Structure 1
Amino acid sequence: MEFTQYQTLTIAIADKVATLTLNRPEVRNAFNEHTIAELALAFDELGRNELVRAIVLAANGPAFCAGADLNWMKKMAAYSFAENSADAAMLADMLRTIYLCPKPVVAKVQGDCYAGGMGLVAACDITVAAEEANFCLSEVKLGLIPATISPYVIKAMGENAARRYFLTAERFSAREAHRIGFAHEVVAADALDAQVLAIVKALVSNSPNAVAQAKVLVRDIVGQPVNDALLADTAERIAHIRASQEGREGVASFLEKRKPTWLN
């Protein structure tokens, strides 16, 4: 599969893992309309690439993402309501593309992550952060609100934490991000690569179809009442996947004490 040429990010694929790296370190990887469009396109391409089993979202430089680019914000200040709506819709579409990507996505947060950058991380499936990283939902300091990123950030940190950090715009540590559930793992900076590698190794060793369906399962089941409809739905899901090619192969390989074909 031939990739689009990107200006604000880089993509490298090795051992079934795609590493997508934000590459504007001179502006702390702040994003503008070009970065947003490229991220949406890149995750769409990677999601359809059969050679890719997992995606790592990383960043060059000392910061992971500072949120919106200042020059872009200056342009937005002169936008009409209609132009602002279209601009916000583009960001919303990009975040949804990451969130719905059929491949598991690991955020590798090596440095500070502010405002819209927290939306990027929250749209991922697994977050590993360096101890030195700080987080901040700074929008209210500028007279704004984190509206477009809120569906993902609230899912990641929970309503109670969102009430505090949306309102105060306090900066908080990676350890606090872990405590409230926003980050899954927090490690020393020199252990970040190894921890991410361990996670992606686990991801790529699993059935690609089962991993994709497990992502959908979590999205669909969260918040649902445990009733007859839910029980019927989950029973149908397991019946389908048991009868699938990978489902049959996984069980057969286990019983026959051999590697499943997706590891070949």
Structure 2
Amino acid sequence: MSQPGPHTPLVTTAFDRGITTLTLDSPSNRNALSAPLVGELADALTACGKDPAVRAVLLTHSGGTFSAGADLKAPPGPYAFVDLLRQIVELPKPVVGLVTGHARAGGLGLLGACDVVLASPDADFALTEVRIGVAPAVISLTLLPKLEPRAAARYYLTGERFGVPEALRMGLVTADAAALDGILDGLRSASPQGLRASKRLVTARVLETFERDAEELVQLSASLFASAEAREGMTAFLERRDPAWRL
């Protein structure tokens, strides 16, 4: 009987001068947030948190999409995704997100959890949940404390795509990807203790939202995904057709 082949990692790891790069590496499904990918990313972050040689984490992607959002065929449990977002926020090392392509839905939640987000000029973003009958519920934990309110309202409600200039203006993106080397050098120059204490200061408001709102948003997400409208929206998406409510 033939033995199964080795598992192909969905998250790959590389280390260079204090920076561990975690690469979402499932380009065949546009790095969709499946239960296995979320689990692998959580394990990799745990290892980074425990390793004294790691000064900071760079979170990036292979292929043309940072993440397309939840994998509708093998989604993670909502509590598992909340735990992953909180893990990024609470990690005692800075996490820098780097987007060189598309980011959609739950992928923006990952970026919201990062301490610094950089994007190449051709990157683009969209909160597409409303178009399949759900809402950006759980990812609001990391996004709403950081986004300009009027911009959040527009893109939550319309699902429109937007580019880097708008992402910079609304607070989703920190700087152009050209700033990466300077930011990583700055992190390498900082003391581990200084980074831990400084990160606690800048993440305090985000963590307050987890304490206050996480359970309510998990329940909202679960109820929306179980609804008839969401079933129609997800079926239409997978069948590449307009949903029944499209005017």
Query: Shorter-normalised TM-score: what interval?
Result: 0.7 to 0.9
Aligned to 2:27: 25
Task: State whether residues 6 and 38 of structure 1, in contact with CA within 8 Å, keep that contact through their aligned partners in structure 2.
Answer: no
- Do structure 1's residue 49 and structure 2's residue 51 form an aligned pair? yes
Task: State whether residues 108 and 127 of structure 1, in contact with CA within 8 Å, keep that contact through their aligned partners in structure 2.
Answer: yes
| Aligned-residue offset at 1:219 | 2.7
Task: State whether residues 145 and 206 of structure 2, in contact with CA within 8 Å, keep that contact through their aligned partners in structure 1.
Answer: no
RMSD of aligned C-alpha atoms?
Answer: 2.0
Q: Gaps spanning 5+ residues in structure 1: where? A: 74-85, 187-191, 225-264
Match of 1:208 among 182, 192, 199: 192
SS of structure 1 residue aligned to 2:73: helix
Identity of aligned residues (%): 39
Q: Gaps spanning 5+ residues in structure 2: where? A: 1-6, 209-247
Paired amino acid for 1:198 = G
Report the Cα distance in structure 1 between the residues aligned to 2:199 and 2:45, rounded to whole angstroms: 16
| Aligned-residue offset at 1:161 | 1.8
The size of the alignment, in residue pairs, is 202
Q: Which has the higher contact order (CA 8 A, sep 6+)?
A: 2
Q: TM-score, normalised by structure 2?
A: 0.77
SS of structure 1 residue aligned to 2:47: helix
| Aligned-residue offset at 1:6 | 7.2
| Aligned-residue offset at 1:70 | 3.6
SS of structure 2 residue aligned to 1:217: helix
Paired amino acid for 2:151 = A
Which one has a bigger Cα radius of gyration?
1
Runs of 4+ in 1 over 6 A off after TM superposition: 221-224
Relative distance call for 1:221 and 1:165 in structure 2 (3 A) is: closer
Aligned to 1:129: 119
Task: State whether residues 18 and 55 of structure 2, in contact with CA within 8 Å, keep that contact through their aligned partners in structure 1.
Answer: yes
Match of 1:72 among 71, 74, 83: 74
- Do structure 1's residue 95 and structure 2's residue 79 form an aligned pair? no
| Aligned-residue offset at 1:159 | 2.6
Q: TM-score, normalised by structure 1?
A: 0.72
Relative distance call for 1:138 and 1:61 in structure 2 (3 A) is: same
Aligned to 1:156: 146
